[in-house]
């Protein structure tokens, strides 16, 4: 198998972390932040696209937010899938890895992001042309990043989340 040699090189490069199900041992904040930033990128693309589409179609807040969340998951998974597929992994395996790697991270991120927007007075009624929309979105995404990074650090340390993806990187 191609990635057996790679797995051993990864373990040698990063120290003896044990097997995937035993966790990765000590995980740096930098590694957790990179995993979170990767996730945040997909979420932000999906969120903004969902808001644009919902607004353009004249939808209300609930269907627009639902579309934004669905697209955040879609783009979050797609970015992870792209990297795994580049490593030569078949689609079915890559899809399973993306689901395992990103589901909790995206869910936490979306909960925080949309919670900030829903609870911020006037944010739900701000339009795309309103500067308030953009700075509240920036605050919401920043809050999601800060809160999701420790979640990703914990997951990677347990051999879950982006630790699963890590074994496929060249």
pLDDT (tens digit per residue) in 105-114: 999 999 999 9
pLDDT (tens digit per residue) in 39-61: 899 999 999 999 899 988 999 99
Q: How many Å apart are CA 52 and CA 63, to the nearest integer?
A: 12
Please name the residue ranges forming H helices in 15-130: 29-56, 61-86, 91-119
pLDDT (tens digit per residue) in 117-147: 999 999 888 888 899 999 999 999 999 999 9
pTM for the whole structure? 0.78
Please check the confidence at residue 35 and state whether its pLDDT lies above 60.
yes
Q: How many Å apart are CA 80 and CA 130, to the nearest integer?
A: 32
């Amino acid at each position: 198998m191609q990635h057996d040699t790679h797995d051993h090189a990864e373990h040698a490069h990063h120290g003896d972390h044990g097997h995937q199900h035993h966790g990765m041992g000590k995980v740096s904040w930098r590694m957790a932040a990179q995993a979170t930033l990767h996730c945040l990128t997909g979420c932000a693309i999906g969120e903004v696209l969902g808001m644009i589409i919902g607004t353009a179609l004249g939808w209300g807040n609930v269907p627009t937010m639902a579309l934004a969340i669905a697209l955040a998951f879609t783009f979050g998974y797609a970015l992870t899938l792209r990297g795994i597929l580049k490593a030569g992994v078949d689609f079915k395996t890559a899809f399973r890895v993306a689901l395992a790697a990103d589901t909790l991270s995206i869910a936490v991120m979306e909960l925080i992001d949309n919670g900030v927007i829903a609870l911020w007075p006037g944010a739900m009624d701000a339009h795309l042309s309103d500067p308030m929309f953009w700075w509240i979105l920036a605050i919401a995404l920043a809050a999601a990043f800060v809160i999701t990074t420790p979640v990703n650090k914990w997951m990677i340390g347990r051999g879950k989340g982006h630790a699963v993806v890590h074994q496929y990187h060249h």
